[in-house]
Amino acid sequence: MSSPGPDIAGSVVRSRPVLRFLTCGSVDDGKSTLIGRLLYEQNLIFDDHLAALTRDSRKHGTTGADIDFALLLDGLEAEREQGITIDVAYRYFATPRRAFIVADTPGHEQYTRNMATGASNSDLAILLVDARKGLLAQTRRHAIIAGMLGIRHVVLAVNKIDLVGFSQDVFDGIAGAFAAFAAPLGFKVVQAIPLSARYGDNLSVRSDKTPWFDGPSLLEFLETVDVEDDRAAKAFRLPVQWVNRPNLDFRGFAGTVASGTIGIGEEIAVLPSGRSSVIKSILSPAGEVDRAEAGDAVTVTLADEIDIARGDVMAPMRERPQVADQFAAHLVWMSAERLLPGRSYLMKINHGAVVATVTELKHRVDTDSLAKLAAKTLALNEVGVCNLSTGRPIVFDTYADNRTTGAFILIDRVSNETVAAGMVDFPLRRATNIHRQNITVTKEKRSLLNNHRPAVLWFTGLSGAGKSTIANLVEVQLHARGVHTLLLDGDNVRHGLNRDLGFTEADRVENIRRIGEVAKLMTEAGLVVLCSFISPFRAERQMARELVADGEFLEIFVDAPLEQCVARDPKGLYRRALAGEIKNFTGVDQPYEVPQSPDLHLKSGEFTATELAEQVVRGLERLKVI
């Protein structure tokens, strides 16, 4: 059998209504087999691919002498060796009635992020269930994520129905259980279909082995389901991806229209600045056009020269998106490192990037019961609802209104790992009710009065390294020279401001966040602030640095080997920690992240505390702080 060439197939996909869908569900429930078999039955596999698939089935297959259709989509060698899907595999195909773009997503928990990626661009989900196993935790999790990401049409594919004797009772039990579970998720259509992906029952045509089933075959349903694309009917949104300025005579703003339509001569506002202008021209890949609509990649020029940057959003004057620096959102946590409220992450939204912090984790969603559970953190694959604060106001819609301008991701600022996918629920009104008060006596004026610059000297290192001893000696020297100082010590702060915090990772993050804010206020007062804290995580030390102006923060690493700190043990803490009497102790059962490029590196074992204090003072002189 021959198949149409890539160019012909591509033109067919482009010429017919397109349905984007994904296959998801737990591992080994037959997602890849279903798609592979569907392509085979539609004569959409090239002859040479079919020959290769036959050879690979003998080597890697799990279906005996039969062709293992799952291998058609498992393109990675690791996928074929393990018999699992790791990455998202996309396939494009068409029938006489419709074109399809399908994302075959992995079922393993550790690859949930890839499933969410596939779901974010899909209009329909085929949620597979192994008829022998019924609904599993991963089945429910994928259903929740699909619902959160705005998918409203679901096919519940009860696969491997042949392995339970084509039992109607089994099918009805699974379909009923899913209907009860999914009721709160807001799906518009849930079509349950009994399937045998391996043998093709109810795949392209209805099977005579399930006479009790009077619904459509899978392909029949996919060809006829109405998943209307209402993006064009929504308000116009163009997130600016690139400012295109090839020469002095042209300045265009490139991006893909997220929703709505726009035409030459129409007035727009640019958020967050709020400046307005008129569309002068619209350039598409085919040349200049009069109008653009949702999904079009265009470059627009404006009648006025206004300042626009990547991440800004164009919108109609009377239908503007939200602009706020605090909002509530759903998060799907995708990292092995747990979410730590108070830690700053990098948020990417509408092609822009901004520092963001989870200020409050309201609850975690139980993926078995959808119950709201109290939680202080989120672990890998957990779903939660939280409040976030950003470093500056950002432009967004709620995810329910716009799946493009209401979605974001969070990135770990140290590892650059994508740690969460987020959907904006609503802005927090207090973000627009709070305004900064102008103060006449500024930090600069106070510094002139003090006759020295303000600074934060951040001493970090293991317990027992000598941080507080050195900081105290430094402050004595500075005080003798007339420098206005304040020493913040870990133990002292926990007796007052932070007495409500423990020593978990989340509490340690909040501990440093509060201290950083206090240090910032003290620099506003013109002081030299000496902070002596273990502060074990690089992310929080970086957060504290960014709270003050450039040049005002000095990270001072008091470097002492753990063995030396244990030998000193001035407070007897190591002895108690090693005996199991103290939990979450840095260096024993909590990690310490060594500074990668501290401003001052003090080697505690090679010099006395007095000599190290003098090194700090000389460093302040070199930096002209004093």
Which residues form the catalytic set?
Answer: 535
Catalogue the E-assigned strands of 366-484. Answer: 372-373, 383-396, 407-411, 418-427, 455-460
* Cα–Cα distance, 140 to 32 (Å, whole number): 19
- C-alpha 530: how far from its chain's center? 35
Continuous segment of H or E residues that includes residue 444: helix 443-450
Pairing of strands 485-489, 528-532: parallel
Output the CA torsion 284→287→291→292 (10° steps): -10
Buried b / exposed e over 386-419, threshold 16 CB at 10 Å, is bbbbbeebbbbbbbebbbbbbbbbbbbbeeeebb
Q: Which of 179, 160, 180 is closest to 170 using CA atoms?
A: 160
Checking 196-199 for CB contacts under 8 A at 24+ apart, the result is 196/159, 196/160, 196/161, 196/162, 197/30, 197/33, 197/34, 197/37, 197/69, 197/157, 197/159, 197/160, 198/30, 198/33, 198/37, 198/63, 198/66, 198/69, 198/160, 198/162, 199/162
Q: Which of 300, 303, 229 is closest to 262 using CA atoms?
A: 300
Tokens 């604060």 locate to: 389
Q: Which of 414, 408, 371, 345 is closest to 597 using CA atoms?
A: 414
* Cα–Cα distance, 250 to 245 (Å, whole number): 6
577 phi and psi angles, rounded to 5 deg? -65, -45
Q: Phi-psi region for residue 150, left (φ > 0), alpha (ψ -120 to 50) or beta?
A: left
* Cα–Cα distance, 93 to 72 (Å, whole number): 14
